[in-house]
């Protein structure tokens, strides 16, 4: 995914979690109709968790345009839904600092 900031505005961010609370961070940055980035994929906790918390674990959005996942840090509210993302078929690139990557062995 190549983005030229001089010619293309990155104006669309879809909050898939973490927009109305402090946990469940998951944001999709849309570059165009074929490419996007996912920033974090975290678990909802405490007051942010719904009664039926299993429903919040599922990846209920289209991931076919996601070209990469960027992990900001390894707290569970930022990475806790990664197993569900993988189960949903995610096979794109994964970006994290080298120390953070050591937490993942897939």
Note the pLDDT tens digit of each residue in 54-93.
667 789 899 999 999 999 988 888 898 999 999 999 999 9
pTM over 0.85: no
Q: Distance (Å, rounded) from C-alpha 7 to C-alpha 40?
A: 26
- Examine the pLDDT at 21 and tell me if it is beyond 80: no
What strands, in cross-sheet order, belong to the sheet with 66-70? 12-17, 26-32, 35-39, 66-70, 93-95
Q: Is 91 left (phi over 0), alpha (psi -120 to 50) or beta?
A: alpha
The radius of gyration computed from the CA coordinates of the chain, to the nearest angstrom, equals: 14
Nearest alpha carbon to residue 79 among 67, 95, 66: 95
- Examine the pLDDT at 33 and tell me if it is beyond 60: yes
Provide mean pLDDT across the span 2-18: 70
Provide mean pLDDT across the span 27-45: 91
């Amino acid at each position: 995914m190549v983005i030229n900031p001089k010619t293309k505005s990155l104006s669309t961010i879809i909050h898939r979690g973490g927009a109305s609370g402090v946990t469940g961070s998951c944001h999709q940055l849309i570059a165009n109709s074929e490419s996007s980035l996912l920033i974090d994929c975290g678990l909802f906790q405490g007051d942010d968790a719904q009664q039926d918390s299993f429903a919040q674990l599922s990846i209920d959005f289209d991931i076919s345009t996601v070209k990469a996942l960027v992990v900001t840090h390894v707290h569970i509210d930022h990475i806790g839904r990664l197993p569900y993302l993988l189960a949903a078929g995610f096979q794109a690139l994964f970006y994290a600092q080298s120390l953070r990557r050591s937490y993942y062995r897939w």
